[in-house]
Amino acid sequence: MPQFAARAIAITMLGGSFAIFANMISFIMIGRINERVPDKERISYLWWSSQVRKRFKALYAASKLVFLLDACGVMMIVSFALLLTLWVFA
């Protein structure tokens, strides 16, 4: 396997790991939001939007989950940029 392919696969797996981790954090946030709000205001695990971050931050101001979610998003973008530079511009 060429060195280029090994690096590209590793960066792709790293970016995918951050995406899965961000999704898991979002599910944790939805669960904690649904514990506190009434039944009519609950968020679905299947059809959620960017309101999760805002509502979680309003309910749990001291929690670090929002920071972790943002960090995962940034790392996904960084790994995509690394993959792009490695694959297209190399």
pLDDT tens for each residue of 40-82: 999 999 888 888 999 999 999 999 999 999 999 999 999 999 9
Longest dimension (CA), the chain: 55
Residue 90 CA: distances (Å) to CA of 1, 8, 80: 17, 11, 14
Q: How far apart are CA 45 and CA 85, in angstroms?
A: 35
Q: For residue 90, what pLDDT band results from cuts at 50, 70 and 90?
A: low
